[in-house]
Amino acid sequence: MSLNIRKIGVVGAGQMGSGIAHVCAVAGYDVRLNDMAPERIKSALATINGNLARQVSKNIITENVRKAAVAHIQGAETFDDLADCDLVIESAVEKEDVKRKIFHDLCASLKPEAIIGSNTSSLSITRLAAATDRPEKFIGIHFMNPVPLMELVELIRGIATDDVTFEAAKALVVKLGKHIAVSEDFPAFIVNRILLPMINEAIYTLYEGVGTVEAIDTAMKLGAHHPMGPLELADFIGLDTCLSIMQVLHEGLADSKYRPCPLLVKYVEAGWLGRKTQRGFYDYRGDKPMPTR
């Protein structure tokens, strides 16, 4: 038995949520974008429109596809507006208590056969699923940032996830034109388990005075052909997100090699979270980004 997904709800209209809504709409799904703050839904819809227009100008999609995609997306101010969705993907902040509350409240509005996906980048799918009334219909669907550009989606089954749910999620990812990496349900899955300790190590390299911000980023861009240096990438991801993933790794695997660098903690305590706050390892307030140390 397979589940035919036609309508998709997205909870959380931030950078990731709006990206997920964007790619689902382009693939022809009806999308309902939900957020606690109505103004965030509005600004996400404006961002999606701008990004779709940019894709047209770069000949990635046609004008007809853009028009159809815009028509496919609507805001949803309450969970009740997601009642007829076949799949709802949660893309809220990376805090377990926030996500668990969303899942608990969301279940009351959903039809019994609806699948719930989480875009968590590090938290236990099994534990999140336990906050719902349908752990067998719960799965990790982890998109990479920025969603319209990045080709990979990690799929993570919890201990209870059934085959119908897994197959439906796989079919969705293929229809979105993305590649699948299947990960076991361990802290931070595959990409972030490898990527975040590298970023954390780059921050230790800065903290210990081995190299400056510029030297470290240049070294990895030119010495390892990374498109972005690790500190530049940390600013792009958000230093608060980097810290929370390192904390999940450190607590979940109890190995000192995952200890978050004290300098990362200090930047987060200062509210210097990277691009989104205009300051992180670089200061973005001038004409070009300047290293902050």
Q: Indicate whether 17 and 157 sit together in one domain.
A: yes
Classify residue 284: in a domain, yes or no: yes
Classify residue 188: in a domain, yes or no: no
pLDDT at 2: 57
Q: Indicate whether 118 and 33 sit together in one domain.
A: yes
Number of domains in the chain: 2
* Active-site choice (192, 200, 232, 244): 192
pLDDT at 144: 96
Q: Indicate whether 158 and 264 sit together in one domain.
A: no
- What confidence category does residue 4 fall into, taking pLDDT thresholds of 50, 70 and 90? confident
Q: What is the CATH number of the domain that holds 82?
A: 3.40.50.720
Give the number of C-alpha atoms closer than 13 A to the C-alpha of residue 255, restricted to the C-beta side: 7
Q: Indicate whether 216 and 253 sit together in one domain.
A: yes
pLDDT greater than 90 at residue 86: yes
- Of the three residues 144, 160, 183, the one that is the final residue of a domain is 183
Q: DSSP label at 160?
A: T
- What confidence category does residue 47 fall into, taking pLDDT thresholds of 50, 70 and 90? very high
Q: What would you measure as the largest C-alpha separation in the chain, in angstroms?
A: 58
Q: Indicate whether 223 and 250 sit together in one domain.
A: yes
Look at residues 93, 72, 79, 97 and name the one whose alpha carbon lies nearest to residue 34.
79
- pLDDT tens-digit map of 63-82: 999 999 999 999 999 999 99
Single pTM value for the model: 0.93
Q: Indicate whether 129 and 249 sit together in one domain.
A: no
Whether 136 is a known active-site residue: answer no
* Active-site choice (18, 142, 200, 244): 142
Percent of the chain residues topping a pLDDT of 70: 99
| Mean model confidence pLDDT for the chain | 97
Burial class (CB in 10 A: 0-12, 13-18, 19+), 176: middle
Q: Indicate whether 72 and 128 sit together in one domain.
A: yes
pLDDT at 286: 96
Look at residues 208, 212, 233 and name the one whose alpha carbon lies nearest to residue 221.
233
Q: Which amino acid is at 241?
A: T
Q: What is the CATH number of the domain that holds 212?
A: 1.10.1040.10
Q: How large is the average pLDDT for residues 122-149? A: 97
Classify residue 1: in a domain, yes or no: no
Q: Which domain holds residue 248?
A: 193-291
Q: How large is the average pLDDT for residues 274-284? A: 97
pLDDT at 3: 73
Whether 64 is a known active-site residue: answer no
Q: How large is the average pLDDT for residues 203-214? A: 98
Whether 250 is a known active-site residue: answer no
Whether 200 is a known active-site residue: answer no
For strands 290-291 and 282-283, give the pairing: antiparallel
Contacts of 135 (CB under 8 A, 6+ apart): 126, 129, 158, 159, 160, 161
Q: How large is the average pLDDT for residues 227-231? A: 97
Q: Indicate whether 110 and 154 sit together in one domain.
A: yes
Classify residue 148: in a domain, yes or no: yes
pLDDT at 254: 96
* 54: three-class secondary structure by DSSP: helix
* Active-site choice (91, 121, 124, 200): 121
Q: Indicate whether 46 and 120 sit together in one domain.
A: yes
Percent of the chain residues topping a pLDDT of 90: 98
